[in-house]
Amino acid sequence: MVEKKSKIKKTVKKEIKKPAFAKASAGREKYLEAVGRRKTSIARVRLYAKKSGVIVNEKDYLKYFSIPRLQKAVISPIEEMKIADKVGAIVKVKGGGIKSQAEAIRLGIARVLILYNSNFRKRLREMGYLTRDARVVERKKYGLKKARRAPQWQKR
């Protein structure tokens, strides 16, 4: 008889590490960085441990986004994790419209929070902050008025 070899599974314990902030050069602070995208907006988010608040394109997020709904969207990942007083973010965002930029920042902040603490992943996923909305505008096609809108048909 042929004996079957039993497969021995080795269990690997996952160690929870403290956040590995990027090495700072002389005179600069350490930070974690992530990118968020939505439509044509790209947001580069840097998370600092010692600062508080969110600065977008060198302005406070409350001034950059005048609509309260967008202000809430930007800060929501930090507020949901209850670490608003512990961390701050500096964001560079370009492209797209104001709503697209706010959602790109939200995704970027959520991604950088996972680098900060990997235990946040499950809660952020449940709230839908880690899902990238991949919808973009369809391009206009030759011979059509828009992406799918054909010219009006005439019988004569």
- What's the pLDDT score for residue 21? 63
- What's the pLDDT score for residue 132? 94
- What's the pLDDT score for residue 52? 85
Please report, for the domain that includes residue 54, its CATH number.
3.30.230.10
Domain count, the chain: 1
Q: Answer whether residue 108 is part of any domain.
A: yes
Q: Answer whether residue 148 is part of any domain.
A: no
- What's the pLDDT score for residue 29? 77
Side-by-side strand order, sheet with 32-38 = 32-38, 41-48, 88-94, 53-56, 59-60
- What's the pLDDT score for residue 156? 82
**Pure H helices in the chain:** 61-64, 68-80, 98-116, 121-127
Q: Answer whether residue 141 is part of any domain.
A: no
Q: Answer whether residue 104 is part of any domain.
A: yes
Q: Answer whether residue 51 is part of any domain.
A: yes
> Could you list the residue range(s) of the whole structural domain that residue 118 is in?
32-126
Contact 115, 41 (CB under 8 A): no
Residues 126, 127, 132, 137, Cα dihedral to 10°: 130
Q: Answer whether residue 7 is part of any domain.
A: no
Which residues of the chain fall short of a pLDDT of 50?
none
- What's the pLDDT score for residue 50? 84
Q: Answer whether residue 96 is part of any domain.
A: yes
Q: Answer whether residue 152 is part of any domain.
A: no
Backbone torsions φ then ψ of 147, nearest 5 degrees: -65, -40
